[in-house]
Structure 1
Amino acid sequence: MVAIERSLPETGLVITPRLVLGILTAVIAVLVGMHVKIHLCWYEDICGPSRSFDMTYGYLFDLGSELSVPTWFSTVQLAAVALALVVAGAFAPTGRWGWRLLSLLFVYLSVDEETDMHGFWSKHSAGIQVSDATEGFNWIIPGVLIVAAVAVAFLPWFLRLPSRTRKLFVTAAVIYVVGGLVMEGLGGLTADEHFSNPAYLAVATIEEALEMFGISVMLYAVLDYLRGQDLAVRIAD
């Protein structure tokens, strides 16, 4: 049973923020490694003894696929952040509304990750286009505006957070936004008709890796905040 307790528990396995971040980082490294290996087999014919697996089941580990293990992993990560934010809001001495609203934002991001809801923005931003290749990336423009609006709305609440928590939140946000917006924009500029040239594939890989790691850092940040409030998550004996 998982429990959240005030002060460090005397029994059971304590789930520390560092442990969570370490495990998630290791999983991300494995997923990125699998993705690179599969793409080398698909596009460069460098397969080795796993050719049959890579050709048949490789799509399950393709970072660019919506129906894949990495997408499921990111969805679960985002949902975990949303849950951690709800817990933080329940125990926060002040500014509970901020934690709760932020949790709703991460619920949306989790749903978007699984359903590709940002495709809606692409369809409704058809007039914002740099070249024909960027047609599927039109959502970036409204995405930037939404990020800016959210940042401004949360600023008063954010400034009241502990200094360490603010720094960790900024770190997580920068990593995630660089992956989700900056690298996505570069992907739109480097993409070819089939989304298979080396430059685009490299940018897309970095993009997805940064997004996953940014979410991990955010989860670490919230768990670290809870620990700073003398709260601990443990698995009971």
Structure 2
Amino acid sequence: MRLALFISPRRVGILLTIVVIGLSIISFAGQFSTYVLGHGRVFGLVRLFDVGQDSNIPTWYSSIMLLFCSLLLALIAKSQKTARTRYILHWKVLAAIFLYMSIDEVAMIHENADIILGSHISRTGFLHFGWVAVGIPLTIIFVLSYLKFLTHLPKKTRLLFVVAGTIFVSGAIGAEMFAGRHNEIYNLDLTYAMITAVEEFCEMFGIVVFLYALLSYINEHLQEVNFSIKEAVQAK
């Protein structure tokens, strides 16, 4: 029996965009309830959907999407190896990075690293969250090391990669810096929650754009992907 699975990049992109918008709206409603109406629990639903919290629905959603991206990147890397094309290593490294990001989303590695970094650097102003001081130079190094790789990509894929990366970094680092500065001056309030909501929306939507880019690339350049599960053939 043959099982065929057809995936439309456009439909996946639209569906995930709706999910991201929905999660963001529900999260903001919870923060409005907390800081304006004075109801910060609502049967535990506020924390369950708070994009600024960990180990909840938005966290696991993001982790699964990052893992899906990692699997698609590994698939593309495998196809590039089979075709003996250039930049195979770049695809593999991207797959590894997204796998780490998926794990970090639920294991909170960078949050724990922030505690360690806080004792070695000045955590003031825009660097209130210490990991940002490391994240900025690492991002610059990553971009510079992938410039040739980007020029090698098809025009559509290259544009989508740049858009996705810009949106994601704007949230992960840009909005995070503003959130840190606001938190240092005013502590937690509705404004801080709104900045955090923008940050997380950018991260989640950036991943949606990137996932759409990967699916479109596979659809247009790999055309068909076949998976087969077989018993190992023993030599006689």
Unaligned runs of 5+ in 1: 4-11
Quick one: which of 110, 115, 124 aligns to 1:118? 110
Give distance in 1, aligned partners of 2:127 and 2:222.
48
Counterpart amino acid of 1:81? C
Identity of aligned residues (%): 29
TM-score, length of structure 2 as denominator length: 0.85
User: Quick one: distance in 2 between partners of 1:101 and 1:67?
Assistant: 27
Partner of 2:59: 71
Unaligned runs of 5+ in 2: 227-236
Contact 2:31–2:190 (8 Å) recurs in 1 = no
Taking the aligned partners of 2:100 and 2:44, their CA distance within structure 1 comes to: 32
SS at match of 1:210: helix
Taking structure 1 as the reference length, what is the TM-score of the superposition?
0.84
Matched residue, 1:221: 213
1:118-170 superposed Cα distances (whole Å, 9 cap, x missing partner) = 12432333223224x964x1110100111111112222222211111111000
Q: Structure 1 residues 2 and 155, CA, compared in 2 at 3 Å: closer, same or farther?
A: farther
Superposition map of 1:31-180 within 5 A = 31-45=23-37, 54-92=42-80, 93=83, 94=85, 95-126=87-118, 127-131=121-125, 135=128, 137-180=129-172
- C-alpha spacing 1:111/1:194, structure 2 compared with 1 (3 Å): farther
2-structure distance, mates of 1:2, 1:81: 25
Higher relative contact order (CA 8 A, sep 6+): 1
Q: Deviations over 1:34-79 (max 9, x none)?
A: 10111111111177xxx9x724332110111111100000000100
Question: What residue in structure 1 maps to residue 12 of structure 2?
Answer: 20
Figure out how many residues of one structure are paired with residues of the other and give that number.
221
Distance 1:212 1:26 in 2: 11
Which is further off, 198-207 or 184-193?
Answer: 184-193
Structure 2 vs 1, CA of residues 200 and 141 (structure 1 numbering), >3 Å: closer, same or farther?
A: same
Matched residues in 1 for 2:167 and 2:206: separation?
5
Please tell me whether the aligned partners of residues 89 and 99 of structure 1 are also in contact (alpha carbons under 8 angstroms): yes
Q: What amino acid maps onto 2:124 in structure 1?
A: V
> Partners of 2:114 and 2:219 in 1: how far apart?
40
User: Given residue 166 of structure 2, which amino acid in structure 1 is its aligned partner?
Assistant: V
Partner amino acid for 1:68?
Answer: N
- Runs of 4 or more above 4 Å deviation: 192-195
Structure with greater proportional strand content:
1
Contact 2:63 2:106 in 1 (8 A): yes
